[in-house]
């Protein structure tokens, strides 16, 4: 596995390095710590760019030292460019399997800042992306993680399930599987009308039964895959009703999850541009770290 850690001088980036160093990873995993000197912030001063490059070298060297001490093969790079584009392009050229970036918080300004690099990676990276957030308690990688896995039974969700199953995790890690049952598609409120000649109640009930059944099947399939990998599954409600975005965020906060894992698209075939309907929304608003998995 090849992990690209995109960092800057913020404390959020320090959380990325600390989490990457603390977690177990598959044998042979390689890291690259990347810092992009933002050319827009430098104006036309070559001296300023050179100074920032030297600072960047110090930054990535310190990060790499932590990863090497943890036993991980690591290299570094510092480039000058536009961070939004440069991180994604580097991930493509290096053949990264994962991009890990930090989050600057949860407020409106923080989400704007997050959009600079993390949101671009969520939209356009060719690989999986994790937005890392620091928990309010002891680092989860040292006490066992609480992973909330969202699935709808789609190919994208299946890739996410297999990604979790195929990776090593800290001892005592638990997984909670959720498949939200959204009974009403936003914008189609007329479907709820019992007087509608196009959507009679009997038909709607049949559709809803099918949706519930699909959700239960998605959970059962995910459970089978994870249990075969020896992972501990948390019992409880697995198919709550509601908007998947709201359900996942609420469940993660209530359970105090450390990590939410989702596929990059669902049954409606959302691609990287439209995936914001669920995956990106959760990544932006969650209180914890979020992984968006691509095949």
CATH of the domain at 30: 3.40.50.620
Q: Do 197 and 266 fall into the same domain?
A: yes
Q: Which helix (H) or strand (E) holds 22?
A: helix 11-22
Q: Do 127 and 97 fall into the same domain?
A: yes
Q: Do 157 and 129 fall into the same domain?
A: no
pTM confidence score = 0.86
Q: Do 56 and 161 fall into the same domain?
A: no
| Rounded CA separation 131/115 (Å) | 11
One digit per residue, pLDDT tens: the chain, 295 residues?
999 999 998 888 999 999 999 999 999 999 999 999 988 765 557 778 888 899 999 999 999 999 999 999 999 999 999 988 999 999 999 999 999 998 864 444 334 344 578 888 888 899 999 999 875 445 555 578 999 999 999 999 999 999 999 999 999 999 999 999 886 554 444 444 444 456 567 766 777 788 889 999 999 999 999 999 999 999 999 999 999 999 999 999 999 999 999 998 655 544 434 444 788 889 888 999 999 999 7
List all residues 6 or more positions away from 222 whose beta carbon is below 8 Å from its beta carbon: 149, 151, 157, 161, 177
| Full residue range of the structural domain in which residue 28 is found | 1-134
CA angle 112, 114, 120 (to 5 degrees): 105
Q: What is the DSSP string of 64-129?
A: HHHHHHTT-EEEEEEEEE-HHHHHHHHHHHHT-SEEEEE---SSHHHHHHHIIIIIHHHHH-SSEE
Give the count of domains, the chain. Answer: 2
| Rounded CA separation 44/42 (Å) | 6
Among the candidates 134, 169, 188, a domain finishes at: 134
Among the candidates 134, 150, 167, a domain finishes at: 134
């Amino acid at each position: 596995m090849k992990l690209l850690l995109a960092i800057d001088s913020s404390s959020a980036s320090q959380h990325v390095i600390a989490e990457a160093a603390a977690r177990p990873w598959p044998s042979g995993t390689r890291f690259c710590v990347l810092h992009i000197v933002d050319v827009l912030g430098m104006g036309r001063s070559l001296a300023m760019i050179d100074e920032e490059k030297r600072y960047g070298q110090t930054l990535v060297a310190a990060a790499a030292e932590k990863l090497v001490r943890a036993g991980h093969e690591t290299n570094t790079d510092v480039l000058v460019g536009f961070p939004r584009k440069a991180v994604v392009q580097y991930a493509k050229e290096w053949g990264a399997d994962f991009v890990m970036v930090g989050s600057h918080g949860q407020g409106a300004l923080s989400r704007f800042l997050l959009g600079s690099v993390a949101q671009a990676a969520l939209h356009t990276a060719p690989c999986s992306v994790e937005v890392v957030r620091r928990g309010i308690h002891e680092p989860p990688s040292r006490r066992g993680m609480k992973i909330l896995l969202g699935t709808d039974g789609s190919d994208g969700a299946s890739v996410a399930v297999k990604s979790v199953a195929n990776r090593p995790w800290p001892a005592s890690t638990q997984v909670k599987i959720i498949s939200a049952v959204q009974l009403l598609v936003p914008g189609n409120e007329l479907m709820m009308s019992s007087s509608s000649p196009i959507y009679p109640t009997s038909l709607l009930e049949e559709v809803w039964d099918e949706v519930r059944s699909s959700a239960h099947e998605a959970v059962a399939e995910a459970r089978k895959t994870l249990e075969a990998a020896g992972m501990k599954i948390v019992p409880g409600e697995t198919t709550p009703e509601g908007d998947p975005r709201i359900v996942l965020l609420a469940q993660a906060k209530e359970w105090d999850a450390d990590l939410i894992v989702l596929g990059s698209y669902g049954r409606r075939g959302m691609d990287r541009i439209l995936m914001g309907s669920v995956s990106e929304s959760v990544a932006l608003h969650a209180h914890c770290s979020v992984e968006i998995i691509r095949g």
